[in-house]
Chains A and B, each alone.
Chain A
Amino acid sequence: MSATAVPESTSPTVRRARLRRFRFSTTWLLWIAVVLIMLFCLFPFYWLINTSLKTGADLSSANLVPPHPNLDNYSSIFHNGDFTDALRNSAVLSLTTTLIALVVGSFAAYALARLRVPMKFLLLAVILSITTFPPIAVAAPVYKLWTDIGLYDKPLSLGLILPDLTFTLPLTIYILTSFFRQIPRELEEAALVDGATYFQTFRKVVLPLAAPGLVTAGLLAFIFVWNEFLFAITLTASANARPVPAAIAFFTGSSQFEIPLGTISAASVVVTVPLIVLVLIFQKRIVAGLTAGAVKG
Chain B
Amino acid sequence: MIAPSLLVILLVAAYPIGYAIWLSLHEYSLIHQGLSRWAGFRNYSSALWGVESHEFWGAFKTTFLFTAISVTLELVLGLAMALAMHQAFRGRSILRATVLVPWAILTVVTAMTWKTIFDPDLGFANTMLRALHLPGGHVVWLGQSGYALAVLVFADVWKTAPFMALLLLAGLQVIPEDVYDAAKVDGATAWQRFRRITLPLLTPAILVALIFRTLDALRIFDLPFVLTRGTNGTNTLSLEAQQTLVNNGVIGLGSALSVLTFVTVMGVSFLYIRFVGGNIRALAD
Contact = CB atoms under 8 A, between A and B. Distances in A.
Contacts of A173: 5
A140 B259 CA distance: 9
A132 interface: yes
Given A2-B184, A279-B103, A294-B209, A229 B98 contact: no
Given A5-B187, A276-B101, A248 B225 contact: no
Nearest to B189: A4
Interface stretch (B49-57, B138-146, B237-245): B237-245
A286 B9 contact: no
A283 B97 CA distance: 7
B114 interface: yes
Nearest to A51: B116
A83 interface: no
A159 to B, nearest CB: 13
Contacts of B190: 1-2, 4, 26
B17 A105 contact: no
Contacts of A5: 187, 189
Contact of A169 (B1, B5, B81, B114): B5
Interface in B183-242: 184, 187, 189-190, 205, 208-209, 212, 215, 218-219, 221-222, 225-226, 237-238, 241-242
Nearest to A271: B106
Contacts of B209: 294-295
Leading 10 A-B pairs by shortest Cβ distance: A297-B279, A108-B5, A62-B127, A137-B262, A141-B19, A140-B258, A111-B2, A111-B1, A120-B284, A132-B269
Contact of A166 (B13, B102, B189, B269): B13
Interface in B264-285: 265-266, 268-270, 272-273, 276-284
B106 A268 contact: yes
Contacts of A142: 16
18 contacts: A30-B84, A34-B89, A41-B98, A44-B105, A44-B158, A45-B113, A133-B265, A137-B259, A139-B245, A140-B23, A140-B254, A170-B13, A198-B1, A223-B104, A268-B106, A272-B104, A275-B104, A296-B279
B273 A144 contact: no
A5 B193 CA distance: 12
A102 to B, nearest CB: 11
B107 interface: yes
Contact of B96 (A51, A127, A249, A283): A283
Consensus secondary structure, chain B interface = helix
A51 B119 CA distance: 13
A16 interface: no
A139 B109 contact: no
A41 B9 contact: no
A71 interface: no
Nearest to B84: A33
B12 interface: yes
A111 to B, nearest CB: 4
Interface residues of A, number: 99
B117 A132 contact: no
Given A129-B266, A144-B251, A295-B208, A135 B105 contact: no
A121 to B, nearest CB: 4
Nearest to A177: B283
A19 interface: no
A297 B273 CA distance: 11
Contact of A297 (B11, B109, B241, B282): B282
Contacts of B116: 47, 51, 261, 265
Contact of A115 (B1, B5, B122, B222): B1
Nearest to B220: A134
Given A141-B16, A162-B11, A229-B107, A110 B1 contact: yes
B175 interface: no
A72 to B, nearest CB: 18
B242 A268 contact: no
Contacts of B6: 108
Contacts of A62: 122-124, 127-128
B65 interface: no
A137 B258 contact: yes
